[in-house]
Amino acid sequence: MKMYIKLFIAIIVLSCVFSCDCCEPDITIGNPWGGGEDPWSEIFLSTIDIDGDNVQHLKKNLSGFPKFSYDDNKIIIYDYDHNDFWILDTDGSNAVRVLESYDVNRKLFSVSPINHSIIFTSLGDIYKLDYMNDILTNLTISFEEQTWESNFSPDGLKIIFTTSPSISKIYTMNSDGSNIELIFQENYSDGRIYYPTFSDDMSKIFFIISYNGFCMCDADGTNIEIISSGMIYQTPIYSISRHVVFTTVLPYNVMLYNYNIDSLNTISTYAMYPNLSPNGDKIIYCSYTNPLTYPSNPSALYIVDIDGSNKKTLANPYNCYQSFSSDGEKIVFIREIVH
């Protein structure tokens, strides 16, 4: 079955890859959480300094999780509403649509920490895109299982990924798609693994198991621990300097776990999408007045020290999907301006 899907994907790749369209998307008003037009607001891909200064609106009508390139010279974003990848300079210039009409699983991608490439999962396979040279490679064309989510290792030499919809598993492979190795297999019939992530020293793997909680194991899949039981919000996990951040559900709390001393702390309530600074001393997140009644309650962008102190509002209201630059000096995020 998967071979037929791969043939279909190959036809799509040959027909629509790398449309270098520098124009604005077709619609003029969007929705940062996907779902098409909103006549009362405008969406901007934006950046801000970590001290809250120098807000720049780079481009309208791009909705998704934006990320900086490893050298901070580019910003990459997968546009929710149009299923396109865009690359642009950090001042908003030279915006190019490099990959068009691709159904990216869970709308997420991972940026290489060592070169100009990203990985993403589409229709059961993991693809690597060299966005500076317009080279797209199917890394799992010979792998028979359906892949689900993928992430670069901190050194950029490996990729960690999950499979679905059968028994959920965690695999690793080299960044060129070679040497696929099974690390962990979920034993719960009603559980699925989400967002596998290496610790920055690559000694641990963190992941979410649906209905079971936030989990950790050694890099070889042994010594599995449930760190936080219950429902975990299914957003990417970030780990730097012995710390890892994630979000619980009901209430929506940003949690910080220090795996070196086995310490779990609440950083903020009614908060989502946490991200750690590259040196591990700051956390950014967006916080709602009450997520259960969103969108009637706007979201603000906050930054705090790693222990939760010195909380500062960076942008308010209607901001989300934030991430740090590689040098930790800037933040890229989606801003909605309501008229």
* DSSP secondary structure letters along 218-276: ETTS-S-EEEEES-B--S--EEETTEEEEEBSSS-EEEEEETTTTEEEEEEESEEEEEE
Least confident of 60-64, 133-137, 184-188: 184-188
Q: What's the pLDDT at 241?
A: 84
The upper half-sphere exposure of residue 82, i.e. CA atoms within 13 Å in the direction of its Cβ, equals: 22
Q: How far is CA 216 from CA 224, 237, 244, 261, in A?
A: 6, 12, 10, 14
pLDDT of residue 290: 62
Name the residue type at position 264.
L
pLDDT for residue 37: 52
CATH code, 2-338: 2.120.10.30
For 81, list phi and psi in degrees, rounded to 5: -75, -20
Amino acid at 12: I
HSE (side-chain half, CA atoms, 13 Å) at 314: 31
Q: Is the pLDDT of residue 83 over 80?
A: yes
Mean pLDDT across 315-338: 91
Residue among 103, 123, 143 at smallest CA distance from 5: 123
Q: Pick from 40-44, 142-146, 297-301 the range whose average pLDDT is largest.
A: 142-146
How many residues comprise the chain?
Answer: 339
Buried b (16+ CB within 10 A) or exposed e, 302-328: bbbebeeeeeeebbebbbbbbbbbbeb
Instruction: Work out the end-to-end distance of the chain between its first and last CA atoms, rounded to an integer number of angstroms.
Output: 49
Lowest mean pLDDT among 4-13, 56-65, 141-150: 4-13
CA atoms within 13 A on the CB side of 179: 9
pLDDT(185) > 90: no
* pLDDT higher than threshold 60 for residue 10: no
Task: Read off the pTM.
Answer: 0.85
- Say if CB 333 and CB 76 are below 8 A apart: no
**CB count in 10 Å sphere of residue 199:** 21
Lowest mean pLDDT among 20-34, 193-207, 251-265, 295-309: 20-34
The three-class DSSP label of residue 23 is coil
Model confidence over 130-148: pLDDT tens digits?
999 999 999 999 998 999 8
Largest CA distance in the chain: 54
Q: Is the pLDDT of residue 263 over 90?
A: yes
- CA 94 – CA 99 distance, rounded (Å): 15
Domain residue spans of the chain: 2-338
Rama region for 177: left / alpha / beta (φ>0; ψ in -120 to 50; rest): left
